[in-house]
Chains A and B, each alone.
Chain A
Amino acid sequence: MGRRTADGAERGTIRSVERAARILRELGSGAGRLGVTELSERLGIAKGTIHGLLRTLERQELVEQDPETGKYRLGPVMLQLGNAFLDAHELRSRSLLWADSLAQRVTEAVRVGILNGPRVLIVHHVFRPDDSVQILEVGASIPWNASALGKAIVAFLEPDRRAALLAGELPRLTGRTVTDPKELARVLERVAADGFAVEDQEGIVGEGEIAAPIFDHRGLPVGAIGIAGPVERLLPDGPDPHLVAAVKQVARNLSREMGAGRAAARGG
């Protein structure tokens, strides 16, 4: 690791860019709108500096100022950047049709996720094909240990990456979330043997998911696809075998499209 300056910037990097990035992260942390003073206090950067950075970011439409309160929030360009990130993901574009047909076939919601640090980022979400109101979960970020998508991916990672994730933070989302690394390691062994992962109210009370990993040409998991819905339908008496077969089939097809060899595409 390189030497760091007082405010954490690494040498050889540009401090003002680093500071601007910290402002964006702070505004994106869910704190809502923040004023110059609040940002100055939170980031430990002088108010004058914050003000200059905000004005620059505002000109680029990366932040915007609320005309009434004078506080700042993320700007419209951030949305474009977020969408560009999602679009750049090959897995997402390739999964669109597969996820849609899977959702139609099983009449449940389908989600595609990638691993982003210790969390699963939902990059695609097809609503359950009925007339009910549902919220779009694209962009949601879920601790890997509380998600079938996460377990399906992590079970097939290289051993050292898997061990690092097991040694990291394992947040609890419900009373059923597995947070004990040893128990979770056993769960992952089972996932690796079965080729699919199950989530039984570990992320949301009442909700379940059955997910299978998607592999790339190196045979490594690039993401996972899962059928999500109420546990009484998905796991009536353990995972519904038809749903398991359906999601594994789609994951295999997607893996093949991603260039995975036959062995990897079989899920192990």
Chain B
Amino acid sequence: MPVKSGSLLNLGPYDGVRFAMTEQRSLAARRGLTASARNARVAGVGGPGLRRGGAGMSDGLVVLDAGFIRSWIRAAAEELAAARDHLTQLDAAIGDADHGVNMDRGMQAALAALEDGADAPPGRLLLAVGNAIVLKVGGAAGPLYGSAFRAAGTTIGEDLVFDGEGLLAALRAGLEGIQRLGAAVEGDKTIVDAWLPAVAAFERELRSGGSTAEAAARAAVAAEEGARETIPMQARKGRASYLGPRSIGHQDPGATSTAILFQALARTARALGT
């Protein structure tokens, strides 16, 4: 099985035995991943192109690793920085007008955490990103996004690589982390209104045979739609709920930043190719 263009696994200092134990998903996925991963190793691929990209792909099977997480966080930091003023404007209508600044500060801290965790496996990187966000971001966004990244990291655990199913499990764990903390459900005009449909769309696409990149693209569209659908909602959670009916007619800033996170995820997955 030839490994396509520049596929690569950042195996780091870990040994192959440990690597072989990493996949605990469906039998088919496990077989496929292990085979392609071994091939990648045997083939000795690991060119610089892939190292940067952060994932490898073989016969349509994308293998995600720490490099993928790094690329995602970098893309998210970039896009959230660009959206800073927009997010702040949205927040000025129904909140404290600090969401853009908060998210930008949080992602800068997340980038610093990436630097510190040079050799960390993907799960640990996500944990470090979550911790950095909790520490640096005030208001509700810090604890909520922080717990989301932490839960996602815990789900990936010590695995060096994961696949689309693993990413789905991590995204779902992130949603659960947010809901555990905030107790919000769909329709409350919160992050959940973007994150929940994104996870559902990601899963639908994977189940119908789509690639990780296709699933991430669907998730980004669903998150964007979910964020827009918060406009006519009356906030039932958070400070915006204090406004009662006056919260109607404004897009939720948290749902909007979530849509940006998923856009960054889609962009990162697309860049790896399928």
Taking beta carbons and an 8 Å cutoff, which residues of A are in contact with B?
28, 30-32, 122, 132-135, 137, 139-142, 172-177, 201, 204-207, 230, 232
Q: How far, in angstroms, from A62 to B99 measured CA to CA in the complex?
A: 37
* Residues of the A chain whose Cβ atoms lie less than 8 Å from the Cβ of B139: 206-207, 230
| A132 and B181 form a contact (CB under 8 A) | no
Taking beta carbons and an 8 Å cutoff, which residues of B are in contact with A?
92, 94-98, 138-144, 179-183, 234, 237-239, 241-245, 248
* With contact pairs A172-B183, A173-B183, A174-B181 given, residues A132 and B234 touching in the complex (Cβ less than 8 Å): no
| A204 and B238 form a contact (CB under 8 A) | yes
Show 19 A/B contacts (Cβ-Cβ < 8 Å), sorted by A. Answer: A28-B245, A30-B244, A30-B248, A32-B245, A132-B97, A134-B96, A142-B242, A174-B181, A175-B183, A177-B183, A201-B143, A205-B140, A205-B143, A205-B144, A206-B140, A206-B141, A207-B140, A207-B239, A230-B138
| B181 and A204 form a contact (CB under 8 A) | no
Closest 10 CB pairs of A and B: A140-B242, A133-B97, A205-B140, A30-B245, A206-B140, A137-B242, A175-B181, A30-B234, A175-B180, A172-B183
* Residues of the B chain whose Cβ atoms lie less than 8 Å from the Cβ of A175: 179-183
Q: How far, in angstroms, from A74 to B215 measured CA to CA in the complex?
A: 46
| B96 and A133 form a contact (CB under 8 A) | yes
Q: How far, in angstroms, from A134 to B94 measured CA to CA in the complex?
A: 9
* Residues of the B chain whose Cβ atoms lie less than 8 Å from the Cβ of A28: 245
* Residues of the B chain whose Cβ atoms lie less than 8 Å from the Cβ of A134: 96
Q: How far, in angstroms, from A39 to B245 measured CA to CA in the complex?
A: 17
| A132 and B98 form a contact (CB under 8 A) | yes
Q: How far, in angstroms, from A198 to B36 measured CA to CA in the complex?
A: 55
* Residues of the A chain whose Cβ atoms lie less than 8 Å from the Cβ of B97: 132-133
| A135 and B239 form a contact (CB under 8 A) | yes
Q: How far, in angstroms, from A132 to B95 measured CA to CA in the complex?
A: 11
* Residues of the A chain whose Cβ atoms lie less than 8 Å from the Cβ of B243: 135, 140
* Residues of the B chain whose Cβ atoms lie less than 8 Å from the Cβ of A141: 244
* With contact pairs A30-B248, A205-B181 given, residues A133 and B92 touching in the complex (Cβ less than 8 Å): yes
* With contact pairs A205-B182, A206-B139 given, residues A32 and B239 touching in the complex (Cβ less than 8 Å): no
Q: How far, in angstroms, from A31 to B244 measured CA to CA in the complex?
A: 10
Q: How far, in angstroms, from A75 to B92 measured CA to CA in the complex?
A: 25
| A206 and B143 form a contact (CB under 8 A) | yes
* Residues of the A chain whose Cβ atoms lie less than 8 Å from the Cβ of B140: 204-207
Q: How far, in angstroms, from A172 to B92 measured CA to CA in the complex?
A: 26
* Residues of the A chain whose Cβ atoms lie less than 8 Å from the Cβ of B244: 30, 139-141
**Most chain B CB within a 10 A radius of its CB, from A137, A140, A142, A174:** A174
**Most chain B CB within a 10 A radius of its CB, from A32, A135, A141, A204:** A135
Closest partner residue, chain A, to B177 (CB atom): A175
* With contact pairs A32-B248, A201-B143 given, residues A132 and B183 touching in the complex (Cβ less than 8 Å): no
Q: How far is the CB of B140 from chain A (nearest CB, A)?
A: 4
Q: How far is the CB of A233 from chain B (nearest CB, A)?
A: 9
| B94 and A133 form a contact (CB under 8 A) | no
Q: Beyond the given A31-B245, A172-B183, please list 11 additional residue pairs across the A-B interface where CB-CB is below 8 A.
A: A30-B244, A122-B242, A133-B92, A137-B239, A137-B242, A139-B244, A173-B183, A174-B182, A201-B143, A205-B181, A205-B238
Q: How far, in angstroms, from A249 to B48 measured CA to CA in the complex?
A: 66
* Residues of the B chain whose Cβ atoms lie less than 8 Å from the Cβ of A30: 234, 244-245, 248
* Residues of the B chain whose Cβ atoms lie less than 8 Å from the Cβ of A205: 140, 143-144, 181-182, 238
* Residues of the B chain whose Cβ atoms lie less than 8 Å from the Cβ of A206: 138-143
Q: How far is the CB of A144 from chain B (nearest CB, A)?
A: 15
* With contact pairs A175-B182, A205-B182 given, residues A135 and B144 touching in the complex (Cβ less than 8 Å): no
| A173 and B237 form a contact (CB under 8 A) | yes
